Structure 1
Amino acid sequence: MITPRFTCSQTAESVVISIYCPSVRAADVEIHVDKTLVSVHINPYFLRLNLSHSLQEDDASSAQYDPGSGYLTITLTKHVHGQHFEDLDLLAKLLAPRPVLPPKQPIIELLDRDEAAEADLSSQTQELAVDDEEQQELLEAARNDWQLPQEVLEPTPLKLTPQCYYGFLDMYSGYFTNVSYTENEVNELGVDAERCTPEDRRPKRILHEDEKWDSEHYMADFAEDEYIQELIKWRHPHTEGPVDPKFAEKENAMMLNLPRKEYLPSQRQTHNLYLTLLTVLFAYAYDSRTTQHDPTPESAWTLCTLVPAFSALDPGPYTSTVWDPSSAFHREEIAAVFIPSYRRSLSFPLYRSFALAQKCRDDVAKFIARGKRTVLKCLLEMKNILDHHEVYYVYSKIWLDDYCVWIQTHASDEMLSRLASAVETTEIQKTSIGWHLDQIEAIVHNIQIERNMDSDDADSDDE
């Protein structure tokens, strides 16, 4: 267990403990108060404090976790209001084990000893004996009432590996420090998420997509596609409603809670933000179409899995074409941006159909063509889903919060219109996906033709 950095303060009624524990699951926090002893456990951190006076947990007590700053703030009520707690700034004293009371005098008198029984007990004890080092540790733990010593780890100024950044405009780091302790099924980089360079992320993502690709699953969905065809025919409300949609009260509250930030991206960074936006909206289009705009408990996983910038921290662009600032969007780079989204929609979620992916791309073009307000509504719906997930909220923090601010303050309706035109006129070839989709579909067609011929022959024999 890791002893986290912390501070303590007090008011007349309570003691406030502020603990730095970034990238943890707030639902896992355990707080125990035993008079002057306070223990806090949130994997992988453990903190035990011995205070000078008693505390209690009541209705006025609280615990709040801010995932943005990584601080857990615990407020505990003083047993005696107005009582002053000494030395809250002496952290080593607070971490020291609680003093153990001296043992009482024995109240049993030994009248006689059986030498044979004593010898037998001595021999059994020798068999169970531990080495000197372990014995010293046990004795030390026993003297401290089995309270193991704690040491706060100081931040290490020297880093042996380069710090890698990710997220919106590469502004974030540290959100995946303790990823091995969370059930993050989306993260494809594992424990290397914090130290994996952008050049290394893309090969890992592509390899993972190839490993998850299942030709039999795709073949089955292509052969039996009645329900998928219904999903394709469904009309999305954000492509059929008013061009200037109104925001609900809940959406207005979400916008008021967005971070107050100013962005100074370069021209190329702005260009790349528009491209990455396509992959984010594709994931939204897929989930909203397959759930018919009624999110399910799996929606958070689906949204994060389908966005390469979330699951592999690998945003666009995905082409080696030299960027030309004098030109807006090339069809080649638009196609390259959608290929990872297509591949992921064909290898991870339940419904795997190239025709469905094509329809989702068509949705993206319509979202963007309708302007910033429609795009913002899509992003706010995604944000609402992820904010209520105990693990995947992290992707809302490092991507969607900033995108919701940027789309309002920096995005241009003219650029969105030009981007929509480029998406509409871009064609995604099955051969670019890399999994021989044409051959698989041809096999299914041949099997269906043979079955129909056999069925016709059987009918003619019956006649």
Structure 2
Amino acid sequence: MITPRFSCSQNENSVVVSVYCPSVRASDVEINVDESLFTLHINPYYLRLNFPHPLQEDDEASAQYDPGSGFLTVTLTKAVPGQPFEDLDLLAKLLAPRPSESRSQGPLIEVLDSQAPEESVEDDLIAQTENLSLERNEILEAAENDWQLKQEVPEPLSSLKTTTQERYGFLDMYTGYFQHVGHTENEVNELGADAETCSPAERRTRRVRHEDGKWDEEHYMADFADDDYIQELIRWTHPHTVAQTDFAYTEEENLVMLRLPRKEYLVTASQTHHLYLTLLTLLFAYAYDSRTTQHDPTPESGWTISTLVPAFAALDPAPYSPPPPDGPPATFAPSELAAVFTASYRRALAFPLFRSFALAERCRADVAAVLRGGRRVVVRCLLELKRVLDRHDVYYVYSKIWVDDFCVWAQALASDDALLRLAAAVGALRMEKRFVGWDLEELEGLTRADGERADDSDDESEDEVERMLPAPL
């Protein structure tokens, strides 16, 4: 079945679903409303939407088909007149499956009859006791005499592994995407042919080692000494960091959202916390590429974005600091945010063309501004990042195992309140140059000293030239 293009709007008492289904017979349309679940079937199209509040079928509900435009307009009545329906523009959230109902925590055994059988309960217990093994008899005797048997906490069973493959990607849901990596020109992959079998700890070790190997002091000092163009990039204003009062997704963005996977994510609180942290690395890479290209992606943008995200290049997502003993905090601690941005800063200073700590700081400010825009702006940035990756012959794989799911998750499960708290924490974060571990302050001091000596040398040369000139007549 084909999911048709659609859009949703609302008024005081109704929700209007506009569906593009050209060249169909209106008499064949099947519409069903089950509280908040709306389904539409008209061959070959099928649409299922989960609204945030219940609807009802009454005399006010209607469906009209315009053969000229190919649009079917369905008007649904709100069960509670005047109740606002949130997030009607987040198509992936509407298309997401209905959340699974939690299973009852009641007893697993149903008591059918509580009456005692004809035989004596005592006689039955005696008969069963006689069939017990010697060990069980000892336990019963110990219990009867109130002996204190030694008890130990059982050791947790190690997870059973039936394959050498390791999982990766969004919520560790993927395997097999790098089986033939040796036959593709993936310049980003830092794990090589071991991408499918590297453990998470080994991935992180290889990533850090690769960053240290790619770090170039002379490149950093050269960009620090001659930073006129970098300062121009820093002064540029990203359009998505400016508050928008009339936000609306474009037709192209809506089409991309319709093609996103429809999954139900059963995410724990710890996993949700880690997803927010990983989201920061994606937005940082997007901000760096957008700023250095001034929002006009180049053929190198796919490489730049994939290289700057540790979860792409080394399959190493956040968190990058040890978790607290009592689990992830309700808020975002400065230490864990600093660890996340340290990973992004190191890559921004070791790999791309422009290597500047000040530029990395400006990109972090962009991330905070995007987060302040809420889910809609975050999803727009993710869709733009996805478009860059999807156009590349190799790097599209990172869209499949990370960005697609992030686009769905951000619409359906991310919280605007959490994004605002995260934006405030990222904006207030104080990143120090010593965090990256490459003596940036010392290198900058040496660069300044070299510049001052060069200026003094130029002055002395000018004085020498003046002394050699003949005296004026």
Q: 1:404 — aligned with what?
A: 407
Alignment partner for residue 169 of structure 1, among 148, 168, 171?
171
Check conservation: 2:223, 2:356, Cα contact below 8 A.
yes
Alignment partner for residue 274 of structure 1, among 273, 276, 281?
276
Check conservation: 2:243, 2:373, Cα contact below 8 A.
no
SS of equivalent to 1:346: helix
Compared CA separation, residues 326 and 431, structure 1 to 2 (3 A): closer
Inter-partner Cα distance in structure 2 for 1:366 and 1:200 = 34
Check conservation: 1:319, 1:333, Cα contact below 8 A.
yes
SS of equivalent to 1:275: helix
In structure 1, runs of 5+ residues without a counterpart are: 1-157
Q: 1:70 — aligned with what?
A: none
Shift of 1:454: 1.9
Shift of 1:422: 0.6
Check conservation: 2:338, 2:431, Cα contact below 8 A.
yes
Shift of 1:458: 3.1
Alignment partner for residue 252 of structure 1, among 251, 254, 260?
254
Q: 2:456 — aligned with what?
A: 453
Inter-partner Cα distance in structure 1 for 2:323 and 2:383 = 32
Deviations for 1:75-127, whole angstroms, at most 9, x for unmatched residues? xxxxxxxxxxxxxxxxxxxxxxxxxxxxxxxxxxxxxxxxxxxxxxxxxxxxx
Shift of 1:246: 1.7
- Report the TM-score when normalising by structure 1: 0.64
Q: 2:340 — aligned with what?
A: 337
Structure 1 counterpart of 2:260, one-letter code: L
Alignment partner for residue 202 of structure 1, among 187, 201, 204?
204
Shift of 1:244: 5.5
Check conservation: 1:318, 1:333, Cα contact below 8 A.
yes
Q: 1:22 — aligned with what?
A: none
Alignment partner for residue 388 of structure 2, among 360, 385, 389?
385
Inter-partner Cα distance in structure 1 for 2:323 and 2:197 = 27
Shift of 1:243: 5.0
Shift of 1:161: 4.6
Compared CA separation, residues 345 and 409, structure 1 to 2 (3 A): same
Structure 2 counterpart of 1:388, one-letter code: R
Inter-partner Cα distance in structure 1 for 2:203 and 2:432 = 25
Inter-partner Cα distance in structure 1 for 2:180 and 2:460 = 64
Structure 1 counterpart of 2:376, one-letter code: R
Kindly indicate whether residue 195 of structure 2 is the aligned counterpart of residue 188 of structure 1. Answer: no
- Paired residue total: 306
Inter-partner Cα distance in structure 2 for 1:457 and 1:395 = 56
Structure 2 counterpart of 1:447, one-letter code: D
Compared CA separation, residues 312 and 437, structure 1 to 2 (3 A): same
- Coordinate RMSD, CA, aligned: 1.5
SS of equivalent to 1:344: helix
Check conservation: 2:287, 2:366, Cα contact below 8 A.
yes
Structure 2 counterpart of 1:410, one-letter code: L
Compared CA separation, residues 201 and 326, structure 1 to 2 (3 A): closer
Q: 1:58 — aligned with what?
A: none
Q: 2:120 — aligned with what?
A: none
Compared CA separation, residues 422 and 186, structure 1 to 2 (3 A): same
Any residues of structure 2 matched to 1:321-336 within 5 Å, and which?
321-322=323-324, 324-336=327-339
Deviations for 1:23-68, whole angstroms, at most 9, x for unmatched residues? xxxxxxxxxxxxxxxxxxxxxxxxxxxxxxxxxxxxxxxxxxxxxx
Check conservation: 1:342, 1:354, Cα contact below 8 A.
yes
Inter-partner Cα distance in structure 2 for 1:224 and 1:326 = 42
Structure 2 counterpart of 1:247, one-letter code: Y
Structure 1 counterpart of 2:423, one-letter code: A
Check conservation: 1:368, 1:374, Cα contact below 8 A.
yes
Check conservation: 1:161, 1:195, Cα contact below 8 A.
no
Compared CA separation, residues 178 and 159, structure 1 to 2 (3 A): farther
Compared CA separation, residues 237 and 194, structure 1 to 2 (3 A): same
Check conservation: 1:244, 1:374, Cα contact below 8 A.
no
Kindly indicate whether residue 424 of structure 2 is the aligned counterpart of residue 421 of structure 1. Answer: yes
Check conservation: 1:387, 1:396, Cα contact below 8 A.
yes
Structure 2 counterpart of 1:163, one-letter code: Q
Q: 1:368 — aligned with what?
A: 371
Shift of 1:178: 0.8
Check conservation: 1:244, 1:373, Cα contact below 8 A.
no
Check conservation: 1:276, 1:317, Cα contact below 8 A.
yes
Alignment partner for residue 285 of structure 1, among 266, 284, 287?
287
Q: 1:311 — aligned with what?
A: 313
Alignment partner for residue 298 of structure 1, among 282, 297, 300?
300
Shift of 1:324: 4.1
Deviations for 1:319-376, whole angstroms, at most 9, x for unmatched residues? 0141644531000000000011100011111011010000000100000011111101
Check conservation: 2:270, 2:327, Cα contact below 8 A.
no
Compared CA separation, residues 371 and 243, structure 1 to 2 (3 A): farther
Check conservation: 2:191, 2:314, Cα contact below 8 A.
yes
Structure 2 counterpart of 1:337, one-letter code: V
Compared CA separation, residues 243 and 338, structure 1 to 2 (3 A): farther
Structure 2 counterpart of 1:309, one-letter code: A
Shift of 1:194: 0.4
Inter-partner Cα distance in structure 1 for 2:166 and 2:327 = 27
In structure 2, runs of 5+ residues without a counterpart are: 1-159, 468-473
Structure 1 counterpart of 2:193, one-letter code: V
Inter-partner Cα distance in structure 1 for 2:170 and 2:195 = 16
Inter-partner Cα distance in structure 1 for 2:376 and 2:329 = 27
Shift of 1:388: 1.1
Compared CA separation, residues 244 and 206, structure 1 to 2 (3 A): farther
